[in-house]
Structure 1
């Protein structure tokens, strides 16, 4: 789909998906999947749901788009749902990802907290996945230091996942930024978590 958007443009790629037209490099199953899912798209409803939680949609070409995601080529997100008041592009200019195991050791939590607080104190924006373990420790430390942090989530920016981190995710939304590829209300799946990790790796500055 990324290639189709690049070659055809977003509007023509959507028309092709809705009519079952085959994209270059896409097999029959993928084409059928696009055809089945396209009618369920509700962009107006998604935008309204985002606005209700203080969110917005940012796509390539917008002034707030973080340019380092363009390094992903055809695998870059078509756009990002963003929750929070800060400028995503400006925060991304001086950001660093701190990610690691969910089931980490006490030492892993300790080191993630040291990195999170130290980077925040030095003026860096700490980016992580809002998950258990290393991710949560880095976010919490950055917030405790009065710094900036971005949570990259695998579901909608209005969905607290994992549930045990609901308080942390709420604090990130209030004091930092939550970003994700999926529209409001969508829940994470295994493949979406993989995409989330891939995009975090592109956040290297």
Structure 2
């Protein structure tokens, strides 16, 4: 009877309650005119939808699929959806065994382009699998491209994933993802605002994104153009105080443009699941510290490193010159040279010293690998 995201109807529902609102919208006594902002044209639209509504039929249809309908106040209702205010869903149709409220408490959205590149599909699948392995529920919209890759990544890791549809939960849309949606019904959750048999429209896809943003603790965008529904999800998440993250891509790709614009604002750059978990998780969910390879040169103490730096790239040098350049005594420099000799960094030639030509201890080691 009410379209998803109808804030005006949401205010009426909040002020009047569901029973009274339905009475006013269907009664011939003109009481609907008392609703703020109601016009004759709007009332006609609401009455047309009310005449077509058959709640008993819809409840029986979802029950036949093993599903259920939940609404605000129910034990399974995710209270974070209340952050949407008057735009929150009137209720949600749910298929799948897990408890929606419990799953939503530890969930992350992974969204992005439908026509994604192989790089985008790889990153989405990797994020989905990595988050699932860390005990996070991966939420997306079951679309082609990034959405499907994220869902499959989570399923491949034996983890939890949830699809938020812009149609009825009995409708496999897109049709090419019928098998994927069926797997999520068996292993995860499929939810939507529209009753069974409800069909998707462009506006319903956009409005669906606010549910993804509100339901989860953060949203990761993987590939998105400037005009993208994924950015709508990210901006909704920002307005709701949720974390927003983006995976960078090639600066020459149009599919990176929207993500990079997000990262220039309040979005946080992430490259793997551990970085996402560190941002949205609890204290102690730290990502590994990124660092390059440890080179033999890195293991030398400060004085020995200065002695090594004192040797020229070509030719030999005597101990006194090494000591002078390294700021050490001749005896100390000689002792460090013998240490470097045993490690294979330098070799003796007559009364002088030179860098060894051995590949493992050449000038790259001396330069710290630069």
Same fold (TM over 0.5): yes
Q: Paired residue for 1:73, among 82, 85, 88?
A: 85
- Structure 1 residue 152 corresponds to structure 2 residue 164: yes
Q: In the alignment, what sits opposite 2:245? A: none
Residue pairs, 1:23-62, within 5 angstroms:
23-62=35-74
Residue pairs, 1:121-136, within 5 angstroms:
121-136=133-148
Indicate the SS of the match to 2:215: coil
Q: In the alignment, what sits opposite 1:16? A: 24
Q: Paired residue for 2:100, among 88, 96, 99?
A: 88
- Structure 1 residue 113 corresponds to structure 2 residue 113: no
Deviation of 1:204 after TM superposition, in Å, equals: 3.0
- Structure 1 residue 6 corresponds to structure 2 residue 7: no
Q: In the alignment, what sits opposite 1:168? A: 180
Query: CA contact under 8 A between 2:139 and 2:216: conserved in structure 1?
Result: no
CA RMSD of aligned residues (A): 1.1
Q: TM-score, normalised by structure 1?
A: 0.97
Q: TM-score, normalised by structure 2?
A: 0.54
Deviation of 1:154 after TM superposition, in Å, equals: 0.6
Relative contact order: is structure 1 or structure 2 higher (C-alpha 8 Å, sep ≥ 6)? 1
Work out which of the two has the higher radius of gyration on C-alpha atoms and give 1 or 2: 2
Gaps of 5+ in 1: none
Cα deviations by residue, 1:87-146 (Å, 9 ceiling, x for unpaired): 000001111111111111111111111110010000000011011111100000001100
Question: Which segments of structure 1 move beyond 4 Å, counting only runs of 4 or more?
Answer: none
- Structure 1 residue 185 corresponds to structure 2 residue 197: yes
